[in-house]
Amino acid sequence: MRLWGYGKKRTRVWNISKLKLLIKEHIYIIILLLLSVVFFYNILSATKILNNIHYINDMTFLSYNVKDSVFSQKTLHLWTPYFYSGQPLMAIPESYLFDLNFLFILIFRNIYLAMNLAVISYFFLAGLGMYLLIISFKKGSRAAFISALVYMLNGFVHSFIISGHLNILESYALIPFVFLFAYRAVKNEKWLSDSILAGLFFAMMALAGGIIFFIYTGFLIGIFLAFSIIGKGFLKRLLKVFLIGVVLLLALFGFAAIKLLPALEFEGISNRNAGVSYTEYLGYPVKLADSWHVFVSNIGFDGLSGALGIAAFILLAMSLFSYRNKNVVFFLIVIAVSIMLASGSFLAEMFYKSVPGFGKMRHIERAMVLFVFSASALAAYGYENLNAKLDKIKFKNAAHFFIIALILAELVALHKMPSSVNVINPKDIPILAHISNDKDFYRTINMGLKEIIGAAGYNYNAQLGIPEAKGGGGIWVNDYVSYLAVAHQYAPSKLLGILNIKYAISDRELDIPNFKLAGKFAECRECAVWNAFGPYLYENLELMPRAYVVQNAILVVGNQDASRQLIYSLMLNGKFNPKNTVAVQGNVDVGEHSIDFLKKFDVVILAPGSVSQESVPILREYTQSGGVLLPDILSGKNAVSNGELETALSRLKGGYKEAKITKYSNNKVEVGAKGRGLLVLSEVFAHYPGWKAFAGGKELSILKADNAITAVLLSDYDSIIFEYKPKPFEIGKIITMATTVIALIYFGVMYYLKRKNGR
């Protein structure tokens, strides 16, 4: 018994000793973790959230959709029906696919707790990444700790990172890791593993939706690799750097293909396809006249800043004593480029015109991220230079802690700590609670938000299963947004009714024909998304069902812009009745349609340039079958009078028959639609290539209807299934899975060989 007790005692002593040693070796990392928890102590709760509109509205919306997709629908969040009347969600470049927030949602199933833990975790990772990077420079742990503090707490973090979206913090936290492994790949003989890891962390930025700093990080790594070529053995260096770059890019694309390919497709059909104007690109450049506030101390300054604090800025200046160090020279070059970009100099204009990716970015002042990254790294060199000068001082350790105290005092104590607000339960919003009692298919539109794009309360709507017509974020489909703009200006009840909008929420009384006041509810002007509370609720009396069948159809043929304008002219005509007629957008040339297809339409309207000589026989056969051609080019006419148009519309009689939706989920909709005619579905599916329609075992053509929604020609089907399976996602999924398997096999073999060789 004594031997057993003695053994337990010795084991206990050994464990305690080992724990003490572990703590001693990693004390600065532990402090960084504790600092992260203390800094965000206000959100250590599942009932609190950062007092930041991006978290309250956008992150809540995205996280709820993720949770709903994974747990309720057993799928990924490819599509959301809850804003913009439906839109790809995962394909939004700023939406996360896989990150810590996603992981915490899987573990805790509470979106607010998940978000809060993700904030704290990524804040800590930002410091940890910088700490490990400085250690890799062969600098001491004290210098690394100081660099980590500066990177975590600088003015850029206070003025932009914390006040922005979570994906901004995520990408900011991952920059040091990407650079760390790229640096290791260049410096180490065995560069392959580090190149793969650099690509992996770079891919994590894309998977986390951290697209804002994605291009800046690529630029940083590109400069570093080019800079690394300089030196003895040029050709050998060039070959190595080339191979590192190739492996890094392949790993980046391979790991992130599941996110990148859908994002590229969505960008191609969105407002971002044409890039941004130079004014949008510039945003609000930093003013060099404000250099003290921008680079040194931002206390009392409201603008964007990368201020390091006085103590850290002195350390930055002292890094100049190491001007012969290659790393120091590199970071000084990056700082110079960063300042020139962020201030909107000639270099910013050159990048806008010449450097891929920059022409699609907004707010070049965000290039300050390169300044704070480089300055944080240089602070370590400055600290070691100062340390060398203090070598003979008796109280050297005290000086070290004094520097840390100064940094913390200026970057934490003299700034406001991140504040929190209580989470609002959507059921506690009276107007939404009332709407949610209506279990039919419909949408709402928030007219309290004057703009079409912004925080329209869809974060709360989604949690109650209520789709919203407006939306937020920086990416949208122009055709849809234009439709809402036309509807607001010319015929709100009619055009919004076509979008299946039953309820309008407003902060003021409305005077819109066919909008009936349905009630006034309690408001909350002090709430972040105050317009979600109304207080006025209106019912649209011209509501159209989500799915219905009509027998009358008009085909408008011509280029996209011309045909869209003609369809708007039709819909705004008083004789156009959406209850019995649908307007369909055709191809550019009428000859691209078969005669059988044309015969499905009562009227064919020809936009200029839509008729070729070869299509005349088809048009003649169409008119002989009883179809109406406008303008009647066969009779020598080349324009349509208003009288001719109204006469044609007046002949279209009858009504609609509502179609039953038998299944409705985010990525799949099934509609019962027997008989002939056109099934009109008040969904934006036709505008997105990932949506397909199937019936009777074959794929059907999805038609763009009424400039915003969807139609399908019927042919005695029992039901039609609409399914969202974007091809880029399917291809990207295969590439990412294959890349992951290859990487796991590679690292598994490397680990086995190390074990076998006794290392």
Please state the domain extents for the chain.
40-413, 426-540, 552-650, 657-725
pTM of the model: 0.92
Mean pLDDT value across residues 336-347: 96
Side-chain-side CA neighbours of 301 within 13 Å: the count stands at 23
Q: State yes or no: pLDDT of 252 exceeds 50.
A: yes
Smallest CA-to-CA distance from 158 within 133, 131, 205, 123 is with 123
Confidence of residue 9 (pLDDT cuts 50, 70, 90): low
Which residue do the tokens 């009745």 mark?
577
Which of the four pLDDT bands, split at 50, 70 and 90, describes residue 402? confident
Antiparallel, parallel or unpaired: β 603-606 and 552-557: parallel
Q: What sign does the dihedral 483-82-63-157 (CA atoms) show? A: positive
pLDDT of residue 719: 92
* pLDDT at residue 5, as a whole number: 45
Residue 159: pLDDT over 60 = yes
Residue 425 tokens read as 């339960």
Joined together, the tokens standing for residue 592 give 């691209």
In this prediction, residue 600 carries a pLDDT of 94
Which is higher by pLDDT, 388 or 85? 85
Tell me which residue has tokens 């928890």: 37
Paired residues of 694 in beta bridges: 699, 721
pLDDT tens digits, 528-572: 999 999 999 999 999 999 999 999 999 999 999 999 999 999 999
As a dihedral over the C-alpha atoms of residue 481, residue 484, residue 488, residue 494, rounded to 10 degrees, the angle is 160
Tens of pLDDT, residue by residue over 408-433, are 888 887 788 899 999 999 999 999 99
Say if residue 527's pLDDT is above 50: yes
483 pLDDT more than 60: yes
pLDDT of 649 over the 50 cut: yes
> Quick one: pLDDT band at residue 680, thresholds 50, 70, 90?
very high
- The reported pLDDT for the residue numbered 13 is 54
| Amino acid identity at 642 | N
How does strand 703-705 pair with strand 709-713?
antiparallel
29 phi and psi, to 5 degrees? -65, -40
Return d(Cα 149, Cα 405) in angstroms, integer.
11
In which band, very low, low, confident or very high, does the pLDDT at 2 lie, cut at 50, 70 and 90? very low
Residue 6: pLDDT above 70?
Answer: no
Give the model's pLDDT for residue 372.
98
Residue type, 672: G
Whether residue 759 has pLDDT greater than 70: no
Residue 385's pLDDT is 92
C-alpha distances in Å from residue 401, one per residue of 147, 148, 192, 394: 14, 15, 39, 14
- CA–CA distance from 102 to each of 17, 97, 125 (Å)? 37, 7, 16
pLDDT of residue 532: 95
The contacts of residue 85 (CB under 8 Å, 6+ apart) are: 443, 467, 468, 469, 480, 499, 500, 682, 683, 684, 708
CATH 2.60.40 at 657-725, yes or no: yes
Contacts with 398 (C-beta within 8 Å, 6 or more apart), sequence order: none
Tell me: pLDDT of 1 over 60: no
| Torsion on CA atoms 290, 291, 296, 299, rounded to nearest 10 | 0
pLDDT tens for each residue of 292-313: 999 999 888 889 999 999 999 9
pLDDT of residue 630: 93
- Average model confidence (pLDDT) across the chain: 93
Residue burial 117-139, b: 16+ Cβ < 10 Å; e: rest: bbbbbbbbbbbbbbbbbbbbbeb
Give the percent of the chain with pLDDT over 70.
97
CATH class of 552-650: alpha beta
Kindly tell me if the per-residue pLDDT of 628 is higher than 60: yes
- Over the stretch 257-277, which tens digit does the pLDDT of each residue have? 999 999 999 999 998 888 888
Cα separation values, 301 from 279, 293, 599, Å: 24, 6, 68
